[in-house]
Each structure stands twice: as structure tokens, then as C-alpha cells.
Amino acid sequence: MKRLIPYILLSLLTLFMSACSDEEDFSTSSSCLLTISNDTVSFDTVLTTIGSSTKRVVVYNNNDNGVRAKSVRLTSGGTSGFRINVDGISGPYAENIEILGNDSIFMFVDINAPTQNSNVPKEITDTILFSLESGVQQYIILSAYGQDVNILQGKVYKNGENAVMDSNTPYLILDSLKVEEGATLTINAGTTLYLHSKSYIIVEGKLIVNGNETQPVTFKGDRTDKMFPYLPYDRIDGQWGGLRFTESSTENQISYADIHGGDNAITCEESGVDKCKLTILNSVIHNFNGYGLTSTNNKLVLKDTQISNAKYDCIRLIGGDYDFDQCTIAQFSALHSERGYAFYCWNYYLSEDGDTVSCPLNVNIKNTILTGYGKDELAVCMPYTKADLVLSISRSLLNSDTTGMRRYISMNIDNCLFESEDNAAYKAKNFKTIDTHNYIYDFHLDSLSLAFGKNGERNLGAW
């Protein structure tokens, strides 16, 4: 035993010296600085009182010796709405944060922006201050723009109510919004509606959207951050539900609207053709995770309107009476490897009992571009009866071979242009920008498109 005592003492001395050595490894030299992955952390527009996404910052110590921060804190004390988590410690203030030599820690930043009392986005700034033991101070600048919103959660406009949404402050729709039968909702020019995931606008009464050329009404998802540094969620479909017009709803009108990024843009349940169910003018319906426009046995009028990029069909019609004039119907979705047609229609449906029910269909298309990636973007399901499916297309540009379908339906084609690989502008080349990497689309016409007239004026399409 006596022989072991010197070895035990030596081991204890070694451990003691090692502990002292670790303590000495933390440098107090002003030349030992931290390297921070971001000197600025910026958030795009954030909706006030709604928490943002979280961003990660990596703090590196590239020195051989450890570096200790006496404190890491928000200079606002947390009143700005920014929040930090430093190496697992949450709060506006953390003490004695140690980073070993050639090591790193993670920091997480988000913001729950307070109300700004402003109709326009207002800048919010703060600073994360690192106070090192050496006396050196290092900073990260934080910035965001806070946008106040009117939050409507489970909102219902009752029978007899004539409600108006104005453009002073955007609206955030949670848990959907309903316009009951007998109620009317009017949305004025310049109004923006943010809709949360799976939220719909359900119209049993009447919806009037009164946008104008310089102040459209916008329907979009409520995620204002980015999926990737180059890709905002605003360019991704499936961010909200859509607009649904029920059986009792007729005489709706949408003018100068921008409707994008949801599941099913516009769904029209059956109301018959005695009254016009919906008129859409000068609007954009773009980028949906389901259908762009679906309708069963209704009367609809669309003019100067773009319907583009859907997982399934941009337009799907079952029976009814439809007029399309000066529209662009384009299926160039890059988010889905398999996509539907630009235009798909038929004249029957199955009842709840499984019986086939005839539903006469009359479609009139003129001055319109109908195109997409597919070999043929115009599809007609085998009709219930030939006489009850009438498709008239005049002065339009088509990515379709209509020869086969003429045997099965009543089809009138007058003075139309048919796309071909021989055309200088073909499919996507008709348009200014089809960027399938960044999901940026500009459906204004390219100068080489056949939709331009001989004198350079636009003859066909919405824009």
C-alpha cells in the first residue's frame, strides 16, 4: 500500500494541474476574437404579434486558446421583440459563455414583433452584444420590418351584414373566414389578405373584390420568410386554402386580384346557369397545389385574366356555361413532376348513388392563349352525349391537337393559331420569364410570340 501512495499523489497532482491548465487555456488577450457566421441577421416583413421563423448563427473560436464571453445580451433588453438562445440559454441575457479553442457554439434568433401602430411596415432593429473577458466587444446587428395586421380568427359575416375590408391595414385570416348566405363582403382596392395554412374564404353569400390596375387586392399565405436564401415561401404553393363559393352563392365579382400560393384557388359548387355565379376580370390566379379554377354546372365569365401553374388542372369544368376572353391559361408548374392540364372539361358527373348524370357544357374561348409543358394542354373527357358538349374557340393560340376530339364533341375552331416546335416562340418561349429554378414567372408576351400582331401589338392573352 505504501508503494502505491506516491503514484496516487502523482495522479492527483496531474489532475489538479490539468484543471489549472484548462482554466489558463481561456485567453484574455484582445487579439483573441470570435468569428461569427453572420454580422447581420435580417428578417423580411414579419406580421406583428405573430412569431417569425428561427434563424441560426454559428459563433466560432478559431484560436488555440478558449475564449469566454462575460455576457451575451440584446442591447434592447428584449423590448424590441427579438429573442435569442445562446448555446442553450434562452433570454435577452446570458453570462459566462465559454467557447473552447477551435470550437464553436450555436445561437438562434427569432422575433415576435410588437404592434407598430402603423399602416405600413416599420423597421425594427436591435443588437446582440458579446462582451469578452478581454474587454473587447463584438456585435451582431438585427433588423426586421414589422407589419401590423387585423387578425380575424374564425370570422363569420352574418346574414344581412354588408361588411367592407379596406386597405389601411392588411388582414390575417386564421381558421378560415365565412360569408353567410344573405351577407355581402366587399374588399376594396389595395387590400392584402394573409391566410394561414389551410385557411379558406368560404362564400355562401356574395363576395365583391374591387381592386384596380394600380392597387390590386392580394390573397396570399402568411409565411413571409424564405425556404432557402433565394426562395421565399411566397413563391411556393400550398401555403393556404383558397376561395370556395358554395351552392347558395351567385353574382360574385373579382376585379384586379392577385390570388396565389394556396391549395385550390377558386372552387365553385353547383348553382346552375340561370344566374352568373362569378365574374373574374383583370386578375392573376397563380401557383396552386391543387386546381386553379374548378366549377360544376355554373355560369362564369372570365376576361383579361391569367390562370397558371397548378399541381392538377389550371381549369377543370363539369357542365355549365363559360366565357373566356383575352385570358392566359398556362400550365408550367415546376413544383410537381406530374401535373394536370391547362384546361380539362366534360359534361357529366356521378351522383351520390353512383348514377351518371348528364350536365350540358358550353364553353366559349376567344382571344386566349392556352399552353403549357404538355404535348396537349386541352383535354375533353369522353362526353355523355355529343350534343351536350359544345366547345367554341376563336382567335386563340393553342398548344393542342384538336383533330381527335372533334369526332366526339361539337367543336367550333375559328381563326386559331396552333403551337409548333417550328415556331420561334413555342410553349414557355411565348413569355418573358419562365424561371423554374427560382420559381419566377412573368407571363407578359415575348416579342417573338405568335400572340403578337404584325404591328407589334398584343392580340391574344391577358397581358
- The 10s digit of each residue's pLDDT in 69-99 is 999 999 999 999 999 999 999 999 999 999 9
Mean pLDDT along residues 334-338: 85
Are 397 and 450 spatial neighbours (Cβ–Cβ below 8 Å)?
yes
- Lowest-confidence region among 185-194, 270-279, 315-324, 381-390: 381-390
Query: Cell digits for 170?
Result: 392588411
Query: Cell digits for 354?
Result: 353512383
Query: Cell digits for 141?
Result: 446587428
Residue 291 DSSP SS3: coil
Q: What's the confidence (pLDDT) of residue 431?
A: 94
DSSP 240: S
More reliable by pLDDT, 94 or 336: 94
What does the radius of gyration of the chain's CA atoms come to, in whole angstroms?
30
Query: Cell digits for 94?
Result: 446570458
pLDDT-derived band at 393 (thresholds 50, 70, 90) equals: very high
Q: What angle do CA 19, 25, 31 make, to 5 degrees?
A: 165
Residue located via cell numbers 502505491: 4
pLDDT in tens, 48-60: 999 999 999 999 9
- 389-394/410-414 β-pairing: parallel
Mean pLDDT along residues 353-369: 91
Q: How far apart are CA 79 and CA 142, in angstroms?
A: 13
Q: How far apart are CA 220 and CA 196, in angstroms?
A: 9
Q: What's the confidence (pLDDT) of residue 20?
A: 39
| pTM across the whole model | 0.89
Q: What's the confidence (pLDDT) of residue 352?
A: 80
Q: How far apart are CA 307 and CA 462, in angstroms?
A: 10
Which whole-number Å values give the CA distances from 376 to 113, 144, 256, 330, in the listed order?
Answer: 49, 46, 29, 12
Among 394, 338, 398, 403, residue whose Cα is nearest residue 371: 398
Q: What's the confidence (pLDDT) of residue 18?
A: 44
Q: Which helix (H) or strand (E) holds 19?
A: helix 5-24
Alpha helices in 257-371 (DSSP H): none
Query: Cell digits for 378?
Result: 386541352
Half-sphere CA count of 176, side-chain side, radius 13 A: 12
pLDDT-derived band at 385 (thresholds 50, 70, 90) equals: confident
